[in-house]
Copies of this chain bind each other. A is one copy, B any other.
Amino acid sequence: MKAAKTNSGRFFEDYHVGQVIRHAVPRTVSGGERALYHALYPARGALYSSDTFAQGCGLKASPIDDLAAFHLVFGKTVPDVSINAVANLGYAQGRWLLPVYAGDTLRAESEVIGVKQNSNGKSGVVYVRTRGMNQRDEIVLDYVRWVMVRKGNLDAPAPEPVVPQLSEAVAVEDLVCPAGLDFSAYDFDLSGEPHRMADYDIGEKIDHVDGVTIEEAEHMIATRLWQNTAKVHFDATFREDGKRLIYGGHVISLARALSFNGLSNAQMIVALNGGAHANPCFAGDTITAWSEVLDKAPTGAPGVGAIRLRLVAVKQGADLFALKGEDGKYRPEVLLDLDYWALMPL
C-alpha cells in the first residue's frame, strides 16, 4: 500500500515536449514572508525594505524581494520537475516582469521545451520553461531550467531529442523595468552607498567582505518557506553521510544579500542569464561573496541603468576572487556562479 497515494514524481520518460504542468500550491504573500526574508538573509536593499523609499522610486510600495518571488515559484516546481533529478544543470533566460506585492497570490506552471536521453540510457535531460503568475494571471517571472532526471522504466524508448536554443544572456532590449520606475530622485544616503552605475567599470571585481556561517535551522526554515519539499534538504537520514544538502537558492539569496556591501544600489533583479551550483553547501560552511561587472546599459526608465553582474559565492578557505582552476573546473570552495542583470541609478 506504501506510496499508493503519495507523489513519487515524474521520471524522464514521463516528460514530453509541449507538455504543460500546472504546479501546486498557490501562495499568498504578506509582510510575513518579507520579514522572514530579512531575518534569514542579510538583505538590506532599500527598495525592498521601505515603502517610502520604493514610493520615491515610483513604485506603489516596497515589493517582495525578487529572489523571494523566484524561490516561491521555483519551490512549486520541485515535486513536478526535480524530485527525481540527479542534477540541477542550469538556468537561462530568466526575467522578472512584474513586482510582487504583499497580498499577491503566486502560482506556477512549466512547459517542457526539450528532452534528450543520455547515452547511458538510464537518465536524460529535461528542459522546462517555468512561469510564475499572480492572481490576475499576469506573468511575474519566467525562466528556463534544465535538470537531469532518472528514468523510472529503463525500457522506455528514447524520445526524439529536442534541445532548445538558449541565449547566453538576456538581451538588454528584453529587460523589463517595472512601470513607473524612476531613479531620478534616488536617495543615496538612505540606500547605503554613493556608487551609481557610472562608478562601476566593466571587468571590475568587488569583494563583498562580509561572511555568514550557515546553521541547519536557517536553511531549513528558508527552504520550507518556499514550500520546497526536496527531501535531501530536511532529512538527515537520507544521505549516507548524514548531511543535509542546502537548497541552492539559499546560497543564491545569501550571496546576493552579502553583495549589498559594494552593490547597495544594484536594486532590482530583472534577469537571470545563467547560473551554476558549482559545489554543494552544508551547514557549518561560512559563505562570502564577490561580484564582477560584466556589462552595463541604459534602460528606457528615467535615471535607471542595467548592470550585468557575475555573483560568486565561496566558502571558507577560498582565495580572493576564486572561481576556476587551471583545469577550467570550479575550485572546490566555489559554491555558486550566477549571472544576472540588475537595475541601478545611472
Whether a CB of chain B sits under 8 angstroms from the CB of A122 is no
| Contact pick for A42, options B33, B45, B49, B234, CB 8 Å | B234
CB-CB under 8 A from A209, the residues of chain B are 3, 6
Complex CA–CA separation, A52 to B103 (angstroms): 10
With A27-B50, A135-B52 already in contact, the answer to whether A39 and B235 are too (CB < 8 A) is: no
| Contact pick for A50, options B28, B38, B51, B193, CB 8 Å | B28
CB-CB under 8 A from A33, the residues of chain B are 31-32, 35
A1-41 with Cβ < 8 A to chain B: 1-7, 22-36, 38-41
Contact in complex: A191, B102 (CB < 8 Å): no
Contact in complex: B25, A46 (CB < 8 Å): yes
Contact in complex: B191, A24 (CB < 8 Å): yes
Chain B residue with minimal CB distance to A54? Answer: B28
Contact in complex: A35, B3 (CB < 8 Å): no
Whether a CB of chain B sits under 8 angstroms from the CB of A151 is no
Tell me how many chains of this kind the complex includes: 3
Contact in complex: B31, A102 (CB < 8 Å): yes
Contact in complex: B207, A6 (CB < 8 Å): yes
Whether a CB of chain B sits under 8 angstroms from the CB of A263 is yes
A198-216 with Cβ < 8 A to chain B: 199-200, 204-213, 215-216
Contact in complex: B235, A212 (CB < 8 Å): yes
Q: Which residues of A contact B (CB under 8 A)?
A: 1-7, 22-36, 38-42, 44-46, 49-53, 62, 79, 102-103, 105, 107, 135, 189-193, 195, 199-200, 204-213, 215-218, 220-222, 224-225, 227, 229, 231, 234-238, 244, 261-264, 286, 316, 320
User: Can you add 5 more A-B contacts, CB < 8 Å, to A24-B191, A51-B103, A215-B216?
Assistant: A3-B209, A24-B193, A28-B49, A210-B235, A235-B286
